[in-house]
Structure 1
Amino acid sequence: MCRCVDRYLRANGDANATCTMHNIAVRREWSTFSTKEKKNYIAAVQCLASKPAKAPSFVAPGAKTRYDDFVATHTNQTLSTHGTGNFLTWHRYFTWAYEQALRNECSYRSYQPYYNWPKWSDDPSKSPVLDGSDTSMSGDGSSQPGRNATCIPSNDLCQISLAPGDGGGCVQSGPFTNFTVNLGPVAPALTDVAPNANMSGLGHNPRCLYLVHRRPGLFADHRPHRHRLLLHPHAGRLRVRLPRCAHGRPLHRRRRPGGDLFASPGDPFFYFHHAMIDRVYWVWQNQDVEKRLRAVGNTAMLNNMPPSRNATLEDELDLGFVGVPVVTIGEASSTLAGPFCYVYA
């Protein structure tokens, strides 16, 4: 086994061999974490949300915490990192940077967990991520009767119509009941969200996390979609289909600010979800490493509006005040090269 891993790393890892079988990290599903590991992760997230922001006020006046630095960066770059050729690598780097902040700034000892969509699709309330326990990302929101259907990404551009669920108010159980969302919204999918006085969404707008009921169907069974994605040979098609069938529904149905694409990292669940997106991307790449590892598809702007050039491996990924070095799409294409050294279980 070790020899196989070593051969794979030599063939597909970084030329300088800094990533070896002795230091490779393994990202796991939350349900495999021990109680101690879960509490360590939760404490690290809360720690990040207690540290002062690095982004200056002229960049993000509403950013009050180190956690907000990530929300501000995502908000600032949404239009150039969604529906684009860099979507998968940008979010890979963004999720990794968050993981590194938890580890290096807040004493987290493991790696970013992921949420396995189909594993819990029959009943999301049984998922240890969503069960409302003290080792979850918090449970149901308070009941808000009379809610209307929700359009994703917005009422003006209704690509997905979601039937109203129960709940809709502030989360009532779990470790994030008192978690404060400071930034956004910019383009909320839900209409009863307090607007941000700053049109950029970067003004200070403190509020709680909201959750619509965790019923079956809100996290649909994505196995048929995932299988089709993994069989498709083109990176451009993966980039288009993966966000539509797997990205929007679980996150944007679940909680605000998840209902706002721009400020969606304001919900700690965002990183579980994007680790799973990265896992699907990783599996897809490893089915044909020679052709897929550095494949790039699509253009540089959201859904090519306005029309823009094709994305390239030389395009830079700059996460601003998140505080990591600028890398290229090419450098972020392998989880065993560039700044990375991890695989998925």
Structure 2
Amino acid sequence: MVGSTVFNAFVASLCIFSGLSTATPLSKRQSLDLATIQTQAAANTLKVLDGTLSDGLTRGKGCNKDTLAIRKEYGDLSKDERKEYIRAVKCILSKPSKLPAGKYPGAKSRYDDFVVVHMNMTPSVHSTANFMHWHRYYIWAYETALKTECDYKGYQPYWNWAKYPDLPSSPIYNGDEWSMGGNGDPVTHKGMNMGRVVPPGPGGGCVTTGPFANTTIHLGPLMSTMDPALKIKSNPRSDGYGDNPRCLRRDVNTFFTKQFLRPVDLSDHITTNPTIGKFQDSLQNDSPTKAAMHSSGHFSIWGDPGGDVYVSPAEPTFWLHHGQLDRHWWMWANYLEKEVKTRASQYEGGTNWMNPNSAKGKPTDPQWLSVVAPTGTDGLPSNQFFSTTAGPFCYIYQ
């Protein structure tokens, strides 16, 4: 947690970085850059906590400037902070599963519990009203498990999509001891066709460098997007829950970061989508000419299981990608002072990805995390996840 003095200094530093005061009017949406958007989102969040701005949500006394957590970008963590996060992830990978014995044979670890929950929930938490909300809940549950089950003292970091055009050489994937492991070994393979031909990246093979070298994946694949010629083993069960030990593969590439995840892409997306429906639909759905940012992030990592929509949390950097997704939503919801209250409670979409005529989602719909829910929180309604400083949450992004 951080005190109010530290938080005020944090906001002030953002203002200096962007060259703006927190009172700068933001009438020209499309002229904004990401630093300005970040600054205004942080300033408005502080106003909500101070009570000088209302987002219409009810808060108890638990979240204030003195208890607020600050989530940081992975490359902005110190080397010691990165090693502590790596230690905690390895810890959760080593702890036993809490799922019913025999029901999910591929769930060998506590980490695998999170993968199974995502596999179970995939149809209801993608391209639905609760896409953003459920994933915010899910990331928080993972962060909580790292802290309560592995004594992690930090907070969930994120990967700023726009920061690393050359993603393979980034602090996340460069393969040094402070990274999340290197790229997959270079192997000959084909790219894929996702409405546009995506060329193969420089990896494709097993991850053999860095802290997550030689990691074993057990669940899936269920919807693999890797070249069939690589002959990745099929799961012994059609539902993907069987035990299927194989190496962690990556094909970290620059195809998406240099075309669809540039700073201008992120700022334009935030400033040109006035409702949550348009915001989250364009975040997820590719157009004939442009890859969506959600899929661009996943396919920048690609590989097995990173390129499988069901099993993707088995990729240890999934959490950094979805941390950024949550940050992107937080900025959208908070950067315009006059719209903070309106945007805080917007909730649009259906309830089942596979059924375009599914029932409309309601803010009171319960969301489920099963055995990965922090104690006493399973089945909370979506309206508890409208803000990063309301419901069970108390954090902001730096």
1:263 counterpart = 2:307: no
The equivalent residue for 1:134 is: 177
The equivalent residue for 1:239 is: 280
Structure richer in strand, relative to its length: 1
Shift of 1:243: 2.4
The equivalent residue for 1:336 is: 389
Residue of 330, 349, 372 corresponding to 1:322: 372
1:19 counterpart = 2:55: no
Distance 2:396 2:358 in 1: 33
Distance 2:349 2:262 in 1: 23
1:186 counterpart = 2:186: no
Shift of 1:95: 0.7
Between stretches 84-93 and 5-14, larger displacement belongs to 5-14
Contact 1:69 1:321 in 2 (8 A): yes
Q: Which TM-score applies when normalising by structure 2?
A: 0.80
Distance 1:58 1:315 in 2: 30
The equivalent residue for 2:257 is: 219
The equivalent residue for 2:11 is: none
Sequence identity of aligned pairs in percent? Answer: 36
Contact 1:317 1:327 in 2 (8 A): yes
Distance 2:95 2:294 in 1: 29
Contact 2:254 2:300 in 1 (8 A): no
Distance 2:311 2:253 in 1: 24
Between stretches 93-102 and 284-293, larger displacement belongs to 284-293
Distance 2:144 2:93 in 1: 15
Contact 1:57 1:63 in 2 (8 A): no
One-letter amino acid of the structure 2 residue matched with residue 293 of structure 1? A
Distance 1:334 1:306 in 2: 27
Contact 1:114 1:275 in 2 (8 A): yes
* Unaligned segments of structure 1, at least 5 residues: 152-157
* Unaligned segments of structure 2, at least 5 residues: 9-42, 286-291
The equivalent residue for 1:154 is: none
Distance 2:126 2:47 in 1: 35
Contact 1:184 1:196 in 2 (8 A): yes
Distance 2:200 2:76 in 1: 32
Contact 1:53 1:69 in 2 (8 A): yes
Shift of 1:137: 1.0
1:299 counterpart = 2:341: no
1:209 counterpart = 2:248: yes
Q: Following superposition, which runs of at least 4 residues in structure 1 exceed 3 angstroms of deviation?
A: 1-7, 10-14, 158-161
Number of matched residues? Answer: 335
Residues 65-87 of structure 1: CA distance to partner in whole angstroms, max 9, x if unpaired?
00000000001111111011100
Shift of 1:241: 1.2
Residue of 267, 270, 276 corresponding to 1:230: 270
Shift of 1:259: 1.1
1:289 counterpart = 2:333: no
Shift of 1:215: 4.0
Residue of 136, 148, 153 corresponding to 1:92: 136
Residues 227-280 of structure 1: CA distance to partner in whole angstroms, max 9, x if unpaired?
232121111111111124211122234232011110000001000000000000
The equivalent residue for 1:250 is: 297
Q: Which TM-score applies when normalising by structure 1?
A: 0.92
Residue of 99, 113, 125 corresponding to 1:69: 113
Distance 1:310 1:224 in 2: 33
* Equivalent residues in 2 for 1:93-172, closer than 5 Å: 93-121=137-165, 123-145=166-188, 147-151=189-193, 158-172=194-208
Residues 83-114 of structure 1: CA distance to partner in whole angstroms, max 9, x if unpaired?
11100011111011101111111111110101
The equivalent residue for 2:38 is: none
Tell me the secondary structure at the aligned position of residue 256 of structure 1. coil
Distance 2:356 2:164 in 1: 39
Tell me the secondary structure at the aligned position of residue 65 of structure 2. coil
One-letter amino acid of the structure 1 residue matched with residue 328 of structure 2? V
Distance 1:185 1:50 in 2: 21
One-letter amino acid of the structure 1 residue matched with residue 321 of structure 2? H
Distance 2:233 2:333 in 1: 41
Cα-Cα RMSD: 1.8
Residues 287-336 of structure 1: CA distance to partner in whole angstroms, max 9, x if unpaired?
3211111101111111x625111111111111111133121110011110
Tell me the secondary structure at the aligned position of residue 137 of structure 1. coil
Distance 2:315 2:208 in 1: 15
The equivalent residue for 1:155 is: none
One-letter amino acid of the structure 1 residue matched with residue 340 of structure 2? V
Contact 1:239 1:297 in 2 (8 A): no
Distance 1:82 1:215 in 2: 24
Residue of 35, 57, 82 corresponding to 1:38: 82
The equivalent residue for 1:279 is: 327
One-letter amino acid of the structure 2 residue matched with residue 41 of structure 1? Y
